[in-house]
């Protein structure tokens, strides 16, 4: 049996339920034993604290109804209980720890960078090229407008491109495969990539 080549898999890591769902999908469905997992966080100092404090006030995903249902037995309860910790928690370390528990044979490392005035999508694209990434996995919360209108490429307008959905931009422009992940209440996922739109995956 031929062993598939090792891949570098990048999961966009943020202190949000969407990012936690993307990590769940990666650990339970996407990663192979020979892969390397990279947790990549784009820091935006102006919004990070507000986002984290809002997330910490929500019920834990691990204990919420239906959130952990149907997850593969290879990745039980992988969502860290950020809601019970202080605002000073390093969520990246907790995500890394969850990965090591769920997939102990897969190497995991953390990468961080600042937006430095750029939009998030292009920062992720640039980093993925630098690291030689084979697969990008990112949590997705599709708005009604993006679901109805779909992705439209900007016509050379930088300001317009910043208004586009980050996930849709990555899916359309990433040289490697990019998968947008939405966690559904039944424990399954809706996946979006360049070749598959709104693909339902039962956990």
3-class state of residue 75 by DSSP: coil
Confidence at 47, pLDDT banded by 50, 70, 90: low
Confidence at 186, pLDDT banded by 50, 70, 90: confident
pLDDT at 202: 79
Q: Could you tell me where the beta strands, DSSP code E, fall in the chain?
A: 8-12, 36-43, 108-114, 135-139, 177-183, 189-192, 199-201
- Percent of the chain's residues with pLDDT above 70: 66
Tokens 């307008």 correspond to 157
Q: How far apart are CA 26 and CA 39, in angstroms?
A: 11
The mean of the pLDDT values for the chain is: 77
Residue 120: which of 166, 51, 180 has the closest Cα? 166
The yes-or-no verdict on residue 144 having pLDDT over 50 is no
Mean pLDDT of 142-149: 50
Cα three-residue angle 67-68-74, rounded to 5 degrees: 150
Residue 180: both structure tokens together? 């947008």
Q: How far apart are CA 18 and CA 139, in angstroms?
A: 4
Q: How far apart are CA 145 and CA 133, in angstroms?
A: 30
| The overall pTM is greater than 0.75 | no
């Amino acid at each position: 049996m031929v062993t598939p080549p090792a891949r570098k898999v990048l999961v966009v890591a943020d202190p949000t339920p969407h990012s936690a769902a993307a990590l769940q999908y990666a650990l339970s469905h996407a990663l192979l034993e020979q892969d390397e997992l990279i947790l990549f966080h784009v820091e935006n100092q102006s919004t990070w604290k507000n986002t984290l404090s809002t997330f910490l006030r929500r019920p834990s995903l691990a204990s919420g109804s239906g959130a952990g249902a149907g997850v593969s037995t290879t990745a039980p309860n992988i969502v860290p209980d950020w809601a019970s910790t202080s605002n000073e928690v390093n969520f990246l370390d907790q995500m890394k720890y969850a990965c090591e528990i769920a997939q102990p044979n897969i190497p995991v490392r953390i990468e961080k960078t600042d937006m430095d005035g750029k939009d998030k999508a292009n920062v992720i694209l640039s980093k993925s090229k630098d690291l030689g990434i084979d697969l990008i996995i990112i949590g997705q919360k599709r708005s009604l407008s993006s679901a109805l209108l779909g992705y439209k490429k900007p016509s050379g307008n930088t300001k317009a491109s910043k208004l586009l959905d980050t996930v849709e931009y990555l899916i359309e422009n990433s040289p490697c495969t990019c998968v947008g992940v939405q966690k559904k209440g039944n424990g399954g996922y809706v996946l979006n990539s360049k070749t598959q739109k709104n693909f339902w995956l039962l956990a």
